[in-house]
Amino acid sequence: MQVGIYSRVFDESQKEDVLKLIHELIRHQIEPVLYRDFYNQISHFLPADMPIRLFSSSDELNEQFECLISLGGDGTLLDTVTLVRDKKIPLLGINFGRLGFLASIGRGELDSAVASLVNHTYVKDERTLLHLESNLPLFGDTPYALNELAIQKLDTSSMIKIHTYLNGAFLNSYWADGLIVATPTGSTGYSLSCNGPVVFPDSGSFVITPVAPHNLNVRPIVVPDSNVISFEVEGRADSFLCTLDSRKEIVSKNVQLAVKKENFSIGLIRLNEQSFLQTLRNKLSWGFDQRNG
């Protein structure tokens, strides 16, 4: 069995946990395959005789991988989505970051995570993606996102006007700093910080959330993910910012954009005892009353 291990930035405080994870995998005869840039950051403290294989790109991942382990926060896990693409390799997020909705397995659960891989006792949740279409090429060969698409004004420009359509039917013109289209997974991300609703992962929907709207009666709306959502952008500036998860491009306001449900999904691994409701309560402190603390 092989597992990939990916991380963006290594911190010395993570040394013991990283070593423990790699040793546990090898002890259970699971072959760790490390992302090359990550390996270059940690190679100085790995034993010289440790059997480590490396990968550098999506092309080197195949069906022989049990999963791809992400070490970091949710942003790090979002990076791995562009690596696994449509290869059906599930993602296991171990939270070395802060909040961690997606990377929900704590550093103290490394033993349980490895045991779940060995015994195949984990649960794999399929998460929908959104796909961006445009009349000019954007985001190379990864024009999709697990969390959200965001259309935003540039830092110094005035607000923009975003005409929005559902399957060609006019929905609304948003006068705002921007507009977010989030998947259910992304409903706990940027959309939530802009007062969007929390949506269950299997709800089959998109959330359209304005960013700092000029009209205060404009509210987020939930629509079925069978819709194609298209946009026309107006503004005093000649361009605007378009982001897919943590990736961004500056786009001319004459470019036509549309989003729809991607034709493949991403699997997220969770331990059996975890659930979306538990994650909400733990991460958002629902039900916690400091008067009883």
* Eight-state DSSP code of residue 8: S
What would the two tokens of residue 157 be? 């420009």
* Catalytic annotation, pick one of 17, 59, 74, 202: 74
How many residues in total does the chain contain?
Answer: 293
Q: How far apart are the C-alpha atoms of 269 and 265, rounded to whole Å? A: 13
* Eight-state DSSP code of residue 28: T
Neighbouring C-beta atoms of residue 214, cutoff 10 Å: 12
* Eight-state DSSP code of residue 76: H
Q: How far apart are the C-alpha atoms of 113 and 224, rounded to whole Å? A: 34
What would the two tokens of residue 167 be? 């399957």
The answer to whether the Cα torsion of 33, 39, 42, 46 is positive or negative is positive
User: Is 125 a known active-site residue?
Assistant: no
* Tokens 């559902």, located at residue: 166
Q: Residue 129: CA atoms inside 13 Å, Cβ hemisphere, count?
A: 22
What would the two tokens of residue 278 be? 């538990």
Partner residues linked to 270 by β-bridges:
123
In sequence order, the 6+-apart residues with CB closer than 8 A to the CB of 71 are: 5, 6, 7, 14, 18, 21, 38, 94, 96
Q: How far apart are the C-alpha atoms of 184 and 127, rounded to whole Å? A: 8
The letter for the amino acid at 197 is P
| Active site residue ranges | 74
